[in-house]
């Protein structure tokens, strides 16, 4: 009997050590089967850090142009500022589409909300507030005390009015209004710098593959949902709440007509996330098919967006808008399918009784 | 069809580590009570009933792999359908800000508890429904218990257990994905739910054996191998339906323990109708009520 137990014990030890290979002490406690560690580093480098940098560079360049406009209030500078604004906004959409700083650090919980005012209140209130500020004689910096009054949304109104033509805008672009634009730009730049510095210096995204991938996927789903409902559905009256009511003022950039470009940028960022790491992470967790489907859908959506001949603001009756809404809806479901497939790495039937 | 996958997959009852731990426990018990040696002899392991179990295990493995697995809906599919349903009815929910570790712990526990609960009820229905009993009877016609008796389950019962898994794991997963998005995950050891793993290590293979391993006071919470052996006796087959937890038997009044008895008789009340491996497959369909 002793011999039995001894040999059993040795066998235990031997087998125990030997087949440890499918148990990884770090990730082994949490399933998912994600094994590609380099993917996360590539993703962080090529998407997060790159985008944070270019967004910051874009706002700095915009602020420089705002300084010029503040001195001249002339047409050339106004047009230059408008172009720079568009470039910055598109960079900002990249950051927003996959924003994780708020998950990684509580200090960033409200940052995006401070930077931009879309879907977080009544745009009409903002417009009348800004008009009052531009008209009044009080200290400008004090008048712009609200975060919303220093947001990208406010800057857009300052620079574009509500889709006004350039000569009408030039008439309104007095010293006070151009100075307000500069103050807004500078405030936005401080947030942009905080975000950039965070992504450059913070490595917590790379700490846990499992946690970061989950947060990233949740962000992508959230981004698809908001794209579908807020950026397409509400203005076109597709969503239940505004059924049948077409209202271009519900679009994100109805003042500057950039809404479709913003949508394209968001979709392209999803695609870059996929191609720079997520696809490989998904494949290592056995969900290649689902990741491929997402890639395909993103490409279809981008092609459709690019086929619009007029700005989205002027195409709300086009049937293509409804098509776009439906495609993004599919995208959202495909992200859910990806999550489910990464969770069920193998088909277990548990078919045996007791 | 790889039989080695049964031995090397911790999701299987006969995973090598579970077999080994059960063997170790059995040897310790024999050491303490030498009379148990008679429960662990060639006579038992190579009895007619056991040989039938082995043959059936091999044949039914093919049925499961080629006929059941490809056709059966999986937990993944159920989950996806349900998430869509939840989002249509209750609207989209922004994933809640909860630490992944907590979600993983809660999800692992929920899968295990709901899974065990549905196992209890399906097992109970297999006994109480005359139609289902036809099929479950083949498991109970084993007159000798060995670890492979676990797999002496009619394909119809396999399908029912498979559906049960797809539904319970699918529902639990759908709710978690709806609430927490991608933050779900299970705490695993050797690729299986940690609770299943612990259960396997604690002598799960002795449930189908004659070694009367008991859990003492813990039998109020967990089904000990002896409690399952009682379920295989003629007298107590309407008790101890539980898989891992005995709380379901407690709550629904089917819990039974007694002082350990030796040389219990296992099998059916009636004459054993299953003498060949083929009869295990077709007998339930031919039998007159
Ligand atoms: Zn039974």
Position A3 scores a pLDDT of 47
Query: pLDDT tens digits for A254-289?
Result: 999 999 999 999 999 999 999 999 999 999 888 999
CA B72 to CA B265: how far, in whole Å? Answer: 36
Secondary structure (H, E, C), A276-290: HHHHHHHHHCCCHHH
Given a contact cutoff of 8 angstroms between Cβ atoms, the answer to whether A352 and B196 are in contact is no
Label residue A209 by pLDDT band (50, 70, 90): confident
CA A322 to CA A233: how far, in whole Å? Answer: 8
A253 contact partners, CB below 8 Å, separation of at least 6: A89, A156, A259, A261, A262
Q: Does B238 touch chain A (CB under 8 A)?
A: no
Secondary structure (H, E, C), chain A: CHHHHHHHHHHHHHHHHHHHHHCCCCCCCCCCCCCCHHHHHHHHHHHHHHHHHHHHHHHHHHHHHHHHHHHHCCHHHHHHHHHHHHHHHHHHHHHHHCCCHHHHCHHHCCHHHHHCCCCCCCHHHHHHHHHHHHHCCCCHHHHCCCCHHHCHHHHHHHHHCCCCCHHHHHHHCCHHHHHHHHHHHHHHHHHHHHHHHHHHHCCHHHCCHHHHHHHHHHHHHHHHHHHHHHHHHHHHCCCHHHCCCCCHHHCCCCCCCCHHHHHHHHHHHHHHHHHHHHHHHHHHCCCHHHHHHHHHHHHHHHHHHHCCCCCHHHCCCCHHHHHHHHHHHHHHHHHHHHHHHHHCCCCCCCCCCC
Distance A98 CA to ligand 1 centre (A): 52
If contacts are CB pairs under 8 Å, which of residues 170-189 in chain B contact chain A? 173, 177, 181-189
Label residue A28 by pLDDT band (50, 70, 90): very low
Position B281 scores a pLDDT of 93
Q: What is the mean pLDDT of chain A?
A: 87
CA B76 to CA A339: how far, in whole Å? Answer: 10
Q: Is residue A77 over pLDDT 90?
A: yes
CA B141 to CA B143: how far, in whole Å? Answer: 6
For chain A, percent of residues with pLDDT exceeding 70: 87
Nearest-CB residue to A29 (from B69, B136, B187): B187
Label residue A60 by pLDDT band (50, 70, 90): very high
If contacts are CB pairs under 8 Å, which of residues 211-230 in chain B contact chain A? 228
Query: pLDDT tens digits for B96-121?
Result: 888 999 999 999 999 999 999 999 99
Query: pLDDT tens digits for A281-295?
Result: 999 888 999 999 999
Closest CA to A100 of A43, A140, A148: A43
CA A177 to CA A78: how far, in whole Å? Answer: 12
Helix (H) or strand (E) holding B80: helix B75-90
Label residue A16 by pLDDT band (50, 70, 90): very low
β-pairing, B192-193 vs B188-189, is antiparallel
Query: pLDDT tens digits for A103-140?
Result: 999 999 999 999 998 887 666 688 999 999 999 999 99
Q: What residue has token string 């909300």?
A: A113
Q: Is residue A20 over pLDDT 60?
A: no
Between chains, do A218 and B183 touch, taking CB under 8 Å as contact?
Answer: yes
Position B18 scores a pLDDT of 94
Distance B127 CA to ligand 1 centre (A): 6
Closest CA to B151 of B62, B225, B66: B62
Q: Does B190 touch chain A (CB under 8 A)?
A: yes
Distance A9 CA to ligand 1 centre (A): 34
Q: Does B246 touch chain A (CB under 8 A)?
A: no
What letter does residue B240 receive in the DSSP assignment?
A: -
Q: How many CB atoms lie within 10 A of CB A306?
A: 10
Best residue in B102, B176, B185, B230 to probe A by mutation, most A CBs within 10 Å? B185
For chain A, percent of residues with pLDDT exceeding 90: 74
Q: Is residue A8 over pLDDT 50?
A: no
User: Which residues in B lie closer than 8 A to residue A8 (C-beta atoms)?
Assistant: 20, 23-24, 27
Q: Is residue A24 over pLDDT 70?
A: no
Given a contact cutoff of 8 angstroms between Cβ atoms, the answer to whether A278 and A284 are in contact is no
Nearest-CB residue to A349 (from B69, B80, B100): B69
Tokens describing residue A269: 């960022």
Tokens describing residue A291: 């990741």
Dihedral angle computed from the Cα positions of residues A263, A269, A270 and A275, in that order, rounded to the nearest 10 degrees: 150
ipTM of the complex: 0.85
Architecture of domain A39-341 in this structure: Up-down Bundle (1.20)
Q: Is residue A1 over pLDDT 90?
A: no
Query: pLDDT tens digits for B29-80?
Result: 999 999 888 887 888 889 999 999 999 999 999 998 888 888 889 899 999 9
| Low-confidence spans in chain B with pLDDT less than 50 | none
């Amino acid at each position: 009997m002793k011999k039995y137990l001894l040999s059993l014990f040795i066998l235990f030890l031997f087998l125990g050590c030997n087949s440890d290979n499918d148990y990884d002490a770090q990730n082994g406690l949490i399933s998912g089967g994600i094994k590609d560690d380099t993917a996360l580093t590539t993703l962080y480098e090529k998407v997060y850090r790159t985008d944070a940098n270019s967004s910051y560079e874009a706002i700095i360049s915009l602020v420089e142009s705002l300084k010029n406009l503040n001195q001249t209030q002339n047409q050339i500078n106004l047009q230059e500022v408008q172009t720079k604004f568009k470039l910055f906004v598109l960079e900002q959409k990249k950051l927003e589409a996959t924003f994780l700083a708020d998950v990684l650090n509580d200090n960033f919980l409200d940052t995006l909300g401070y930077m931009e005012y879309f879907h977080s209140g009544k745009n009409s209130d903002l417009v009348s507030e800004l008009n009052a500020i531009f008209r009044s004689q009080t200290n400008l910096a004090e008048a712009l005390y609200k975060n919303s009054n220093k947001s990208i949304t406010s800057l857009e109104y300052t620079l574009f009015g509500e889709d006004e033509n350039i000569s009408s805008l030039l008439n309104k672009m007095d010293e006070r209004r151009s100075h307000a634009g500069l103050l807004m730009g500078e405030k936005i730049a401080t947030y942009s710098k905080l975000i950039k510095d965070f992504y450059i210096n913070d490595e917590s995204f790379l700490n846990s593959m499992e946690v970061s991938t989950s947060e990233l996927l949740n962000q992508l789903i959230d981004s698809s949902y908001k794209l579908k409902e807020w950026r397409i559905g509400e203005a076109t009256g597709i969503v239940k709440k505004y059924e049948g009511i077409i209202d271009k003022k519900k679009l994100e950039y109805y003042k500057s007509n950039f809404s479709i470009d913003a949508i394209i940028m968001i979709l392209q960022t999803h695609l870059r996330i996929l191609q720079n790491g997520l696809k490989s992470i998904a494949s290592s967790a056995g969900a290649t098919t689902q990741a491929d489907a997402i890639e395909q859908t993103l490409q279809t959506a981008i092609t459709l967006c690019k086929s619009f001949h007029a700005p989205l603001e002027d195409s709300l009756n086009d049937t293509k808008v409804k098509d776009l809404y439906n495609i993004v809806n599919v995208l959202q479901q495909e992200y859910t399918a990806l999550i489910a497939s990464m969770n069920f790495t193998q088909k277990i039937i548990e078919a045996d009784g007791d | 069809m790889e039989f080695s996958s049964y031995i090397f997959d911790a999701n299987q009852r006969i995973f090598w580590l579970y077999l080994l731990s059960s063997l170790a426990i059995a040897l310790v018990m024999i050491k303490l009570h030498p009379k148990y040696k008679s429960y662990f002899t060639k006579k038992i392991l190579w009895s007619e009933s056991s040989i039938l179990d082995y043959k059936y295990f091999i044949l039914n493995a093919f049925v499961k792999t080629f006929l059941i697995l490809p056709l059966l809906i999986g937990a993944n599919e159920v989950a996806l359908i349900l998430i869509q349903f939840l989002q249509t009815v209750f609207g989209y929910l922004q994933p809640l800000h909860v630490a992944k570790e907590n979600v993983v712990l809660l999800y692992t526990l929920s899968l295990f508890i709901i899974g065990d609960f549905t196992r209890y009820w399906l097992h109970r229905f297999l006994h109480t429904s005359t139609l289902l009993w036809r099929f479950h009877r083949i498991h109970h016609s084993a007159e000798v218990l060995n670890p492979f008796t676990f797999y002496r389950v009619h394909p119809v019962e396999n399908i029912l257990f498979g559906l049960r898994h797809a539904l319970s794991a699918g529902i639990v997963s759908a709710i978690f994905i709806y609430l927490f998005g991608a933050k779900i995950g299970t705490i695993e050891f050797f690729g299986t739910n940690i609770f299943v793993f612990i259960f396997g290590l604690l002598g799960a293979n002795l449930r189908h054996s004659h070694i009367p391993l008991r859990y003492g006071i813990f039998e109020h919470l967990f089904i000990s191998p002896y409690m399952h052996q009682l379920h295989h006796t003629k007298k107590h087959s309407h008790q101890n339906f539980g898989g891992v937890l005995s709380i379901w038997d407690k709550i629904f009044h089917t819990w039974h323990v007694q002082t350990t008895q030796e040389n219990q008789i296992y099998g059916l009340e009636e004459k054993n109708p299953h003498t060949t491996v083929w009869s295990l497959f077709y007998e339930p369909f031919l039998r007159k009520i």
